[in-house]
Amino acid sequence: MISLLLCAVLVVAYLWSKYISQVRQYPPGPRPLPILGNLLQIDFASPQETIAKWGKQYGPVFTVWLPKPNVVITDYSVMKEALVKEGDIYAGRYVGFVYGNYGREHPDGSGIILSQNKRWSLQRRFALHVFRDFGMGRNLMETKVMAQCSVLVDFLRGAVGQKGSAVVDLEYSLTLCVANIIDDIIMGRTFEYDDENFAKFKHMLDVIMQEVKSPRFLVLDTYPRLRYLFPGQLGYKKFRERGELLHRFFLSEVSEHKAKLNMDAEPEDYIDAYLHEIERRKRAGEDTSDFNEEILAANISDLWAAGMETTVTTLRWGILYIMLHPEVARRAYEEVDAIVGKDRLPQLSDRSAMPYTQATLNEIQRLGNIVPFNIQHATSADTTLHGHKIAAGTIVLPQLSALLMDPDVFPQPHSFLPERFLAADGSVKRVDELIPFGMGKRQCLGESLARTELFLIFVTLMQKFSFSIIPDLPTPTTKAIFGVTAPPHPYATLVSSR
């Protein structure tokens, strides 16, 4: 009996020393628990607040265990040092068990967001090339955005009707507006308001985005075999089924395009352009292992989700803050009326003459803070960061949300104050720490499209309608729903014609 007890003590002591040794390999941070790491110490209703607090306590580079070790960066200058000056080293992606479902179990992942190395650089470079050809940042893209803005305005006019006002939940109509812009570019098609497929796939995406960053999936990502022990509780089977349904939907879009593909005609959308490139590579005898239809479907999924979800979430926060801050709304309405007026559509060229609107959009992006945990990077070589040795293969979490809520940069960070982005002369003030689209090699490739959408859709809505709190109902909360993005809780607004 004594010998068994002694053996147990020795085993525990060995495991503990091994655990302590592992912890010491990383920059210091909050003390993790065995198995669960720091998960019990994080407020998952607002995880960026916890991370920001630890950043002040442990410095700009520290380790959080989720339960895997993540080296977190919360300072702008250190982030720039890593992501820009040492961009090649930090451009890798963490491809774990959960994300592996979307990487088709390939060691370098798949798609654009969750891939790395040669596979990623090929996909990103090609997407940028296609988007430039299709007019991203030029008048053609503006035309596509305004076409969907007109559909959105018609829908809302129908909702308010003869009475001139109505209670509306804008989530679905905003989602369809933004989705149809990216759908037109990627797939050469748009969805109607009553399309059941769109509603179904949008719901699946919402669930996936919430689940993938949940505490239970962070644990599952570290200990994949738990899916066999707790299949019902973890929900992994349903998660995988949703992912496969989305993938098959995008594969079906690829098949439809392939059936009608004409190699002698100019590509009409991203899928066409990609299929042209696959065929070109085949005819030239080039390797297609990193350029095929499976990867194309993953790319479409990434572009669709990222191109829709982030912009829609930002616009939903924008309308909510306009409702809650009528003085900001009044000044924005006045500027829209003075510059755009009532008789023509907004144009991207109006932006330079509308500093208050620009400042308001900046503040919406800052306070909306829609990505509570950035998608993790991974180092491709040994390096040093802010005096800490960082080994190759280390998971790195550049925490942009901590910058956006830093009181040293943005005083009263929880207050909605567009004036913080205005200089004394009324012009827009540049603040380097406002980087909602990231920085470095992994900076959002759709940034110019997203900025175009945000400005044109927001100004169009402000030109045509006013948005206010519904009388006699509780004021909508500004608490977010945690996931890959952090959207507001569902809310309705009183929409009135202007």
Pairwise CA distance, residues 116 & 110, whole Å: 8
Q: Extract the tokens encoding 331.
A: 């000044």
- As a dihedral over the C-alpha atoms of residue 271, residue 276, residue 282, residue 286, rounded to 10 degrees, the angle is -90
- Return all residues near 390 (Cβ < 8 A) that are at least 6 apart: 71, 379, 382, 383, 384, 396
Identify residue 378 by its one-letter amino acid code: A
Pairwise CA distance, residues 197 & 203, whole Å: 10
Cβ contact 96:68 at 8 Å: yes
Beta-ladder partners of 144: none
478: exposed, middle or buried (C-beta count within 10 Å: 0-12, 13-18, 19+)? middle
The single-letter DSSP state of residue 84 is I
Beta-strand pair 395-398/69-73: parallel
Identify residue 87 by its one-letter amino acid code: G
Token pair 């060691």 in the structure block, residue: 107
Q: Is 149 annotated as a binding residue?
A: no
Pairwise CA distance, residues 175 & 319, whole Å: 13
Pairwise CA distance, residues 73 & 61, whole Å: 5
Q: Considering only CA atoms, which of 236, 222, 147 is closest in space to residue 184?
A: 147
The DSSP code sequence of 152-212 is HHHHHHHHHGGGTEEEE--HHHHHHHHHHHHHHHHHS----TT-HHHHHHHHHHHHHHHHT
Numbered residues of the known binding site for heme:
444
Numbered residues of the known binding site:
444
